[in-house]
């Protein structure tokens, strides 16, 4: 005669929750795009230039830009300066732009074309080798009541230039600076989720 043992309901619930946590943890470690920087640059030695004197003089962007350094040996912003014009001469170029709706920042990526110019590619591209990123910031950012908002926005957009995505796009609700400000998951500076994904993308 077989003895049928009943599995406690709590044990079953614990197993289900554990599996959900493992799945969520795996998803949250994949919050980055597939594209890479060209010329075997990884994301090291990247230069950043500000193409707006108003932003350069009033945004204090350097405090945000260099925050990504020191997390991975494969990721480094090597310099930040004012370009003095509207040309895109750095790896990452930041400029003022009138954006639609409540958007205060957006990042575009470009690859080199056969003529030596730049062609925009989708930031969600999985295999592009990009040569440049261009960040547009709304002038309204300068009048933001909170300096924290300005600081966080620049960190967030530089994160996109380092191939990090909005985690919520892959159903990850971990707190992160790469979460959109409109969500309750948004952090004001780089936290462990951001560090984990930067290393997962580029290496330690």
Domains of the chain: 34-202 (3.40.390.10)
pLDDT at 101 over 70: yes
User: Would you call 128 helix, strand, or coil by DSSP?
Assistant: coil
pLDDT at 18 over 80: no
- Gap between the Cα atoms of 199 and 141, Å rounded: 29
pLDDT for 16 equals 39
What average pLDDT does the segment 9-18 reach?
A: 43
How far does CA 163 lie from the centroid of its chain? 6
pLDDT tens for each residue of 107-143: 999 999 999 899 999 999 988 999 999 999 999 888 8
Distances (CA, A) of 198 to 42, 68, 88, 125: 12, 9, 25, 17
pLDDT tens for each residue of 39-71: 877 899 999 999 988 889 888 888 899 999 999
pLDDT tens for each residue of 67-89: 999 999 999 999 999 987 667 89
């Amino acid at each position: 005669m077989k003895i049928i043992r009943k599995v406690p309901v709590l044990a079953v619930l614990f197993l289900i929750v554990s599996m959900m946590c493992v799945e969520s943890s795996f998803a949250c470690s994949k919050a980055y795009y597939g594209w890479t920087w060209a010329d075997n640059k990884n994301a090291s030695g990247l230069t950043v230039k500000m193409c707006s004197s108003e932003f350069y003089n009033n945004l204090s962007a350097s405090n945000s830009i260099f925050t990504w350094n020191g997390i991975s040996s494969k990721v480094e912003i090597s310099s930040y300066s004012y370009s003095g014009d509207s040309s895109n001469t750095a790896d990452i170029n930041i400029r003022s732009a009138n954006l639609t709706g409540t958007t205060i920042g957006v990042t575009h990526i470009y690859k080199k074309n056969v003529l030596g110019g730049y062609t925009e590619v989708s930031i969600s591209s999985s295999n592009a080798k990009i040569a440049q990123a261009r960040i547009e910031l709304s002038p309204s950012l300068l009048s933001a009541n909170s300096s924290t908002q300005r600081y966080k926005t620049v960190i967030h957009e530089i994160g996109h230039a380092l191939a990090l995505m909005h985690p919520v796009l892959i159903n990850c609700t971990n707190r992160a600076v790469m979460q959109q400000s409109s969500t309750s998951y948004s952090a004001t500076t780089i936290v462990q989720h951001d560090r984990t994904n930067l290393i997962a993308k580029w290496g330690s």
